[in-house]
Amino acid sequence: MQVKGQISIKGIVQGVGFRPFVYKTARELGMNGTVRNLGSEVLVLAEGDNFSEFVRRLSRGTPLSHIDTITVTDSDETVPNGFKILESATGTLSGFIPADVATCDECIQDIFTPGGRYEGYWATSCVNCGPRYSIICSLPYDRERTRMDAFPMCGPCRDEYGNPASRRHHAQTIACDACGPALSLLRTDGTPVEGDSLHIAAELLDEGAVVAIRGLGGFHIACTTEAVGRLKGTLGRQEQPLAVMATAEKIAEVAIVSAAEWK
């Protein structure tokens, strides 16, 4: 029975919550060892009675990961007591850059939990969701190599980042209202509008205004269907098709959608 070895996992394994997943699994199975991010590869050194079960569970991956190969080799490296997440290797690294992922259901729940730390905070994210591609400056994917570097974590965020029981354990995009990016609403002349940017912008849209929304990866120009003629006139693109956002109910009214497309 193998009790020790080096496990190499290749594929989309960074920015997808893989290291915290390895850590959590190791703790659950009483494994000693280390995990390290090498770009398109996560390298795990592990020792413990549950070694084969550990490898089996790792091969399941996380919701956003995609494992191409998982290989186990013998190792005579010294294994530390307990389990540690090591600094990522830097230098000439290749690897897949993970995509931005829409806010997950659990984070949406956090945003709507009254009195919670993330109540109403638009940039709430976790290891399973949030921006990746749009904020990565270089690999490997760690906070100091992303645009989030400009937002030092507050105490409670740091605690959550370091807590293996948390969904935000080693979540590089962790941020809250106290420490993270903030929204602002500007008039066309650049002067700021006081108040809750998100709700005022929504009201402006309802009133027929055209609002340019600067997101993580660029601008969306938004308006309601009533104002779209004016927008096309302003852009000088009368024939241009535009992406339409609507509720599921509205979409069912105006479009024929296959089961696969609904999914």
Strands (E), the chain: 4-12, 32-37, 41-47, 66-73, 83-85, 211-214, 219-222
3-state secondary structure of 221: strand
CB of 62 to Zn ion, least distance (A): 12
Choosing from 67, 111, 154, 242, the residue that interacts with Zn ion (CB under 5 A) is: 154
User: Smallest distance, Å, CB 163 to Zn ion?
Assistant: 13
> Looking at 74-130, which runs of residues are DSSP E strands?
83-85
30: tokens are 């009483």
Tell whether omega for the bond before 140 is within 30 degrees of 0, i.e. cis: yes
Mask 111-150, x = binds Zn ion (CB under 5 A)? ---------------x-xx---------------------
Pairing assessment for the beta strands 32-37 and 83-85 based on DSSP bridges: parallel
Count of other CB atoms within 10 angstroms of residue 206: 10
Minimum gap (Å) between residue 120 Cβ and Zn ion: 14
CA angle (214, 220, 225) in 5-degree steps:
135
Per CB under 5 A, the segment of 29-37, 170-178, 205-213, 215-223 that binds Zn ion is: 170-178
The window from 58-66, 135-143, 171-179, 245-253 that contacts Zn ion (CB under 5 A) reads 171-179
The site string for Zn ion over 196-215 (x = CB under 5 A, - otherwise) reads --------------------
Q: Under DSSP, is residue 233 helix (H, G, I), strand (E, B) or coil?
A: helix
SS3 assignment, position 199: helix
Stretch that binds Zn ion, among 56-64, 141-149, 177-185, 208-216 (CB under 5 A): 177-185
Q: How far apart are CB 109 and Zn ion at their closest, in Å?
A: 9
Among 22, 107, 171, 201, binds Zn ion (CB under 5 A): 107
User: By CB under 5 A, how many residues form the interface with Zn ion?
Assistant: 10
What residues line the site for Zn ion (CB under 5 A)?
104, 107, 126, 128-129, 154, 157, 176, 178-179
